Amino acid sequence: MSILSEADLDKQTVTKAYARWAPVYDLVFGAVFERGRHAAIGAAERVGGRILEVGVGTGISLPNYSKNCRLCGVDISAPMLRKAQERVSELGLNNVEGLWVMDAEHLSFPDNSFDAVVAQYVITTVPNPEATLDEFARVLKPGGEIILVSRVGAEAGLRRSLEHWFQPAARKLGWRSEFSFERYSRWVAQSRGMSLIERRAMPPFGHFSLIRFGKDDASDRGYESEPARAAG
């Protein structure tokens, strides 16, 4: 299995890529990823409470959440986030507590801040996926869930070869074309208090999955609190 290093997909590359995507993101990806978005939202609503959406982008998901959910959104792309803020204002989404430019690997929230952390099509775009998942677990309350919609790479065969071949081009677009489920499995096995709840194939073509991790009610992961730099 090939594992990309941080140098292969760096923060600057991702930030520039999504600044380019911002004007056309909803048009290009809105319908394609709709079923995955709704599956993630449905899972988050079953948890309820205060929800953090990481990689909120243009805020395309925000109107679909129940008004009973309190929402916070973060994204590394300021142009994307400006569109999200416009959407919140235009639609009067009063259940959105705030939107912040923030690095997913360094969230500026205290430990145990959210009942659910949602990240749609995010993990394969960050420089250090495992550290990002650690950060999600840190800000998640005991009993809460991390809810991902993520591309899952093939383990073998022609599709895996194509994903490996396409990776240099995918990097310029801001994501990885190859990312096996084994990385999620290793992460959860090494993460005290976390467990895999569900993995379910999502369209298009089953290349994506809804992945849910739960944090034990009695979790004692031992995270040290960090004062919130941007929000609390």
Q: What is the distance between the alpha carbons of residues 27 and 21, in angstroms, rounded to a whole number?
A: 10
Mean pLDDT of 185-197: 96
Sign for the CA dihedral angle at 135, 211, 51, 5 comes to positive
Mean pLDDT lowest for which of 74-78, 98-102, 138-142? Answer: 74-78
What percent of the chain stands above pLDDT 70? 67
Length of the chain (residues): 232
Instruction: Check pLDDT > 60 for residue 221.
Output: no
Across 100-128, average pLDDT: 94
pLDDT given at position 154: 46
pLDDT tier at 17 (50, 70, 90 boundaries)? low
**Is the pLDDT reported for residue 164 higher than 70?**
no
Does position 82 have pLDDT exceeding 60, yes or no? Answer: yes
What is the signed CA dihedral for 143, 105, 21, 35, rounded to 10 degrees? -20
**What is the β-pairing status of strands 140-151 and 96-101?**
unpaired
In the chain the domains, ranked by start, together with CATH numbers, are 6-215 (3.40.50.150)
Token digits of residue 95? 């259940």
Average confidence score pLDDT of the chain: 79
Q: What pLDDT digit, counting tens, does each position of 24-78 carry?
A: 555 445 455 788 899 999 999 999 999 999 999 999 999 999 999 999 999 998 9
Q: Identify whether the C-beta of residue 43 lies closer than 8 Å to the C-beta of residue 212.
A: yes
- Which pLDDT score, from 0 to 100, does residue 3 have? 33
Q: What percent of the chain has pLDDT over 90?
A: 54
Give the confidence band of 231 by pLDDT, cuts at 50, 70, 90.
very low
User: What's the rounded Cα separation, in Å, for the pair 55 and 52?
Assistant: 10
Predicted local distance difference test score (pLDDT) of residue 124: 85
Q: How many CA atoms lie within 13 A of 37 on its CB side?
A: 19
Q: Which position has the token pair 């416009």?
A: 86
**CB 213, CB 199: distance < 8 Å:** no
Q: Is pTM, for the whole model, over 0.75? A: yes
Residue 125 CA to residue 175 CA, distance in Å, equals 4
Q: What is the 3-state secondary structure (H, E, C) of the chain?
A: CCCCCHHHCCHHHHHHHHHHHHHHHHHHHCCCCHHHHHHHHHHHHHHCCEEEEECCCCCCCHHHCCCCCEEEEEECCHHHHHHHHHHHHHHCCCCEEEEEECCCCCCCCCCCCEEEEEEECCHHHCCCHHHHHHHHHHHEEEEEEEEEEEECCCCCHHHHHHHHHHHHHHHHHCCCCCCCHHHHHHHHHCCCCEEEEEEEEECCCCCEEEEEEEECCCCCCCCCCCCCCCCC
Give whole-number Cα distances, 57 to 46, 192, 213, in Å. Answer: 23, 30, 22
Radius of gyration of the chain from Cα atoms?
A: 17
